[in-house]
Structure 1
Amino acid sequence: MGCDGGTIPKRHELVKGPKKVEKVDKNAELSAKWKYCALSQEKLRRPIVACDLGRLYNKDSIIEYLLDKTAERPNAEAVVHIRGIKDIKELNLTDNPEWKGESCNTKGDVYEDLHGGMFICPVVGLEINGKHRFCYLQTCGCVFSDRALKEVKTEICHKCGETFKIEDVVVLNGTKEEVEKLRKRMEEKRAKAKTKKSKKSKASRAAEPVAAPLESKEDAQAPQVDLTENSQENGGESSQSAVAGPSEPVGPSGSSEPSGSAKDSKSSTSSVTKRSFQEMTEKSEVFKSLFTTHSSAKRTKAQTSNWVTHTPYHF
Structure 2
Amino acid sequence: MGCDGGTIPKRHELVKGPKKVEKVDKNAELAAKWKYCALSQEKLRRPIVACELGRLYNKDAVIEYLLDKTAERPNAEAVVHIRGIKDIKELNLTDNPEWEGEGRNTKGDRYEDIHCGMFICPVVGLEMNGKHRFCYLQTCGCVFSERALKEVKTEICHKCGDPFKDDNVLVLNGTKEEVEKLREKMEERRAKAKTKKCKKSKAAETVSTTAESKVAELFSNNMLTLKTPKCSNQKKKKKSHC
**TM norm structure 2:** 0.90
Partner of 1:83: 83
Give 1:108 shift.
4.2
Q: 1:169 to 1:106 in 2, by over 3 A?
A: same
* C-alpha distance in 2 between matches for 1:115 and 1:108: 20
- Match of 2:46, as an amino acid? R
- Match of 1:61, as an amino acid? A
Partner of 1:309: none
* C-alpha distance in 2 between matches for 1:137 and 1:159: 11
Give 1:226 shift.
5.1
Partner of 1:52: 52
What secondary structure does 1:54 align onto?
A: coil
- Match of 2:131, as an amino acid? K
- Match of 1:3, as an amino acid? C
Identity %: 76
Long gaps (5+) in structure 1:
248-315
Cα deviations by residue, 1:260-305 (Å, 9 ceiling, x for unpaired)? xxxxxxxxxxxxxxxxxxxxxxxxxxxxxxxxxxxxxxxxxxxxxx
What secondary structure does 2:104 align onto?
A: helix
Does the alignment pair 1:176 with 2:176? yes
What secondary structure does 1:105 align onto?
A: coil
Alignment of 1:150-165 (within 5 A): 150-165=150-165
Long gaps (5+) in structure 2:
none
Task: Please identify, of 55-64 and 202-211, the stretch whose mean Cα deviation from structure 2 is larger.
Answer: 202-211
**Residues 27, 114 of structure 1: 8 Å contact kept:** no
- Match of 1:149, as an amino acid? L
- Match of 1:169, as an amino acid? V
Cα deviations by residue, 1:201-246 (Å, 9 ceiling, x for unpaired)? 11111112211122123323434555677899xxx4x5556x59xx
Number of equivalenced pairs: 240
What secondary structure does 1:104 align onto?
A: coil
What secondary structure does 1:89 align onto?
A: strand
* C-alpha distance in 2 between matches for 1:103 and 1:7: 57
Give 1:88 shift.
0.6
**Residues 54, 171 of structure 2: 8 Å contact kept:** yes
- Match of 2:196, as an amino acid? K
- Match of 2:146, as an amino acid? D
Partner of 2:126: 126
* C-alpha distance in 2 between matches for 1:195 and 1:225: 45
Partner of 1:141: 141
Partner of 2:41: 41
Alignment of 1:154-303 (within 5 A): 154-223=154-223, 236=233, 238-239=234-235, 243=238
Give 1:19 shift.
2.7
**Residues 121, 144 of structure 2: 8 Å contact kept:** yes
- Match of 1:19, as an amino acid? K
* C-alpha distance in 1 between matches for 2:159 and 2:108: 38
* C-alpha distance in 2 between matches for 1:195 and 1:227: 48
- Match of 2:162, as an amino acid? E
Choose between structure 1 and 2 for higher RCO, CA contacts under 8 A separated by at least 6 residues: 2
Partner of 1:32: 32
* C-alpha distance in 2 between matches for 1:157 and 1:95: 18
Cα deviations by residue, 1:57-98 (Å, 9 ceiling, x for unpaired)? 111111111111111111111111111111111100000011
**TM norm structure 1:** 0.70
Cα deviations by residue, 1:176-222 (Å, 9 ceiling, x for unpaired)? 11111101100110111011011111111111221112212332343
Structural RMSD (CA): 2.3
* C-alpha distance in 1 between matches for 2:103 and 2:109: 12
What secondary structure does 1:144 align onto?
A: strand
